[in-house]
Structure 1
Amino acid sequence: MHHLSVALIVFVCVFCSALLGLYLRTLLPEHHLGEDSMAVVKLTAGLIATMAALVLGLLISSAKSSFDTVNTEVTHEAANVILLDRVLAQYGPETQEIRGLLKQIVATGVQQVASADAAQLARMHGPEALKRGENFERKLEELSPQNDLQRRLQARAIEMADNVLAIRELGLLQAVGSTPTPLLITLVLWLCIIFGAFGLFTPPNATVAIALLLGALSTSGAIFLILEMNTPLEGLVTVSLTPMREALAVLGQ
């Protein structure tokens, strides 16, 4: 909802700038709207539009890259969790309690991420979550292998558990992305100048007003998507948790 509010504010600022440009056109003296004056305005608006387009494109590319990275890490973690569970199953019935703990940890994580609640996501970084991970690794280390095969499986399980926890923490850190506020404000200012210049270019009429409205909607929509993809674990645009749910369904079998 916060991102939607920001996008709405951007839309209002940009569209009102366009309407202000249309209004100023009716107030300016005729010689201010001559060909030479309008040519300078168009060149200035073109320069600002180029900079805004570059920044907007870079922000979209960066946000999409961040979103895809977290999405890939969710899939990798789901696969690693399944493999860890199978290694523990090969070890023997002694690991039944550890496998149950693994399933509980995964279920809690999926529930917290699926809630898309900032408070729940913050708990995934909290001391409680860290203790659960440490307790799980300690139980792996406390296993008493009886033969070479079990010793190899124990070592492999400990290594895989370390990787799973590392990938999880990396994904959580990358999911807390943010667009720099000064950059966002500068971009919105540029868009306001551009749309204000658009309003100066043509006489006010319904067609021009609709075109400017659609343009303002498009730019605010792009900023909304940037903000949403920069926080892929919360909001309206989130990564798919299907791989983790599928992994949860086969754990312990």
Structure 2
Amino acid sequence: MAVKYKRIVLKLSGEALAGEKGFGINPPVIAAIAEQIKQVHELEVQIAIVCGGGNIWRGETGAEMGMDRAQADYMGMLATVMNGLALQDGLENAGVPTRVQTSIEMRQVAEPYIRRRAIRNLEKNRVVIFSGGTGSPYFSTDTTSVLRAAEIEADVILMAKNGVDGVYSADPQKDPHAKKYQELTQLDVINKKLGVMDSTASSLSMDNNIPLVVFNLNEPGNILRAVQGEAIGTTITGGK
């Protein structure tokens, strides 16, 4: 079965791991995502994953409550580690060898992030989960996705959304006239303020010419379709 991309970064939101609950980790949802990833893994596609942490904690929420922003962001990074470990368990239960690497060292539970080791794991057909964000506050997991994609020379970032099938000109749930885009550039995303990723992530993607595919995770088989190059969502080219 032909694939368009041989090395990918899959960006999963924390909310996607919570499912309909909206909070916490939902084991049946983890198992379903793991099965989708397994389909792609069996085609010998090299898979790296970045998980968000919004199903457990958001740094922005803590800052709005008066918490020190850096402190709140570090808590968010720890939430992404919990999600990474849960996803690792789901993948290994599905028979997919997986390594979790963290930007903040915690050797008892995961490997520290080392670029060359991450690439070697990918070459050995292991899924690598990047947790702990960038390791620094004030950066989102969207920025982490682009940074890691640049570092491991990934072909694409697949942004799997929870119930959203692409990028729209407005919120389709609020505006019935919202237009779905089939293709954009990162400069379009920034200029139109479409909110696909934060501006730091979009700029980094544009500067490093990393393409992005935004699609609906909740449709079974969509990760495989995205890897095969099917037009299932919105493709955002990395260049200007």
Shorter chain as denominator, the TM-score bin is: under 0.3
Whose Rg is larger?
Answer: 1
Q: Between Structure 1 and Structure 2, which shows a larger proportion of helix residues?
A: 1
Comparing both structures, which one devotes a greater share of its residues to strand? 2
TM-score (norm 2): 0.23
Normalized against structure 1, the TM-score is what? 0.22
